[in-house]
Amino acid sequence: MGNTAHPAARGSRGTRLGWRRLRRYPATLAGFAIVAFFLLMALFGPLIAPYKYSDQVLSDRLQPPSRQYPLGTDQFGRDVFSRILVGSRDVYLVAGSGTVLAVLVGLTLGLIAGFFGGIIDEIVMRLVDVLLAIPPLLLAMIILFSLGPSRLNVILVVGFLYIPMVSRVVRSVVLDLKTRQFVEAAKLRGESSGYIMFREILPNVLPPLAVEASMRFSYAIFLVASLGFLGLGVQPPSPDWGLMVGEARNYFTQAQWALLAPAGAIALLVVGVGFMSDGLRRMLLPGGVSG
């Protein structure tokens, strides 16, 4: 088996090497910490939240942060802290599922286009170009206007929008790998296309794909929040962070906390995922994409 020549076989050594490098980059460590923190909130938030996210205490509207309400209350007297805790679950669920969808479909399209080349490559890549030519938020709005806003539709939109980016990255990696010796060797051995694609090429696509996926995830968080803010995403009274910012906007002069808290959560998580993505790149692709 030519597998010993696999760059992927360097994987475990490379990862260990990566961790050592990582310690030199506190931003990356912070990124991982932030992502892990919000992930814990998503998993256990509803258990530790002091209030139910939708509970309205109408006598306690627009209360500033206090011991009773750590991040204050919004215009319905709902606890902002509890809503942010529970809302992180939505972020991971919606942005995460959307990213996974984009990665799966994008990977398949990129593999097929890159490996087979020719007319198939032409068709797939031109379709991708068409999608890339339309501003993503505009495209998202058009789709959601016609499908109607719902959690599932937002996931579908995020997935759909990021398929082109993912498939382009995968395709370029595949084009590079195709000319490598271990692929040539497999061809000479008479292996099937499927075997070469999934056993020889795919493992080598995974590291750059992981980096790409983490980047897409940070974009997806932002897109989901934007759609929520515009009212096209998850519907009220869901504690979607973007929706919370949108709802609190008109009360900003009276209750800054109701807007700043979810906006800060979005910013923190997006930055965290961005740092993490940088770190993944250093760990998994020490010499750049073609390494």
Partner 1 sequence: MKRSVTAVFVLALFLAVGCLWAGGAKEAAPETAGAREGRYGGVLRKAFFAPTNLDPAFLASITDDEIARFWGDFLVYIDEELRPDPSRSLAESWSVSGDGMSWTFNLRQGVRFHNGEELTSKDVKFTFDRLRDPGVGAATVALFASIASIQTPDPYTVVFRLSRPDPDLVTNLGDYHTVILWSGVTDFQRQQMGSGPFIIDSYLPEDRMTLKRNPGYWRSDAEGNQLPYLDGIEYIFLAEASAQVEALRGGQVHYLIYLPAEYVKPVEADPNLVVYQKPSNTHYVVHMRSDRKPFSDVRVRQAFRAAIDRKAILDNAFEGLGVTGRDTPFGPAYADYYLDIPELSRDVARARRLLAEAGYASGLRVTLTAQQASPVPAMATILKEQLAEAGVTIDIQLVPSDVYYGADNLWLEADFAITDWGARATPQPYLDLAYTCEAKWNESHWCDPEVDELAARAAVESDRARRAEIYKDIQRIFIDRGPILVPFFNNSLWGAARELKGIVPTGYLGTAVDLAQVYFEK
Write out the binding residues for partner 1, residues 77-106 only, by CB under 8 A: 77
Of 193 and 250, nearer to partner 1 (C-beta) is 250
Smallest separation, CB 249 to partner 1 (Å): 6
Of 125 and 227, nearer to partner 1 (C-beta) is 227
Of 29 and 62, nearer to partner 1 (C-beta) is 62
37 lies in the site for partner 1, by CB under 8 A: no
Smallest separation, CB 247 to partner 1 (Å): 7
Distance CA 183, CA 201 (A): 8
Residue with tokens 């997006």: 270
Of 65 and 231, nearer to partner 1 (C-beta) is 231
2 lies in the site for partner 1, by CB under 8 A: no
Distance CA 199, CA 74 (A): 53
Q: Segment contacting partner 1 (CB under 8 A): 15-23, 96-104, 110-118, 145-153?
A: 145-153
Write out the binding residues for partner 1, residues 221-260 only, by CB under 8 A: 231, 235-237, 247, 249-254
149 lies in the site for partner 1, by CB under 8 A: yes
Of 168, 54, 148, 43, which is closest to residue 105 (Cα–Cα)? 168
Of 101, 76, 74, 58, which is closest to residue 241 (Cα–Cα)? 74
152 lies in the site for partner 1, by CB under 8 A: no
Smallest separation, CB 99 to partner 1 (Å): 25
Of 73 and 97, nearer to partner 1 (C-beta) is 73
Smallest separation, CB 94 to partner 1 (Å): 17
Smallest separation, CB 264 to partner 1 (Å): 19
Quick one: which of 25, 37, 76, 116 contacts partner 1 (CB under 8 A)?
Answer: 76
Q: How many CA atoms lie within 13 A of 57 on its CB side?
A: 13
Query: For residue 182, what are its two tokens?
Result: 């271990």
Residues that bind partner 1 (CB under 8 A): 54-56, 58, 61, 75-77, 145, 148-149, 231, 235-237, 247, 249-254
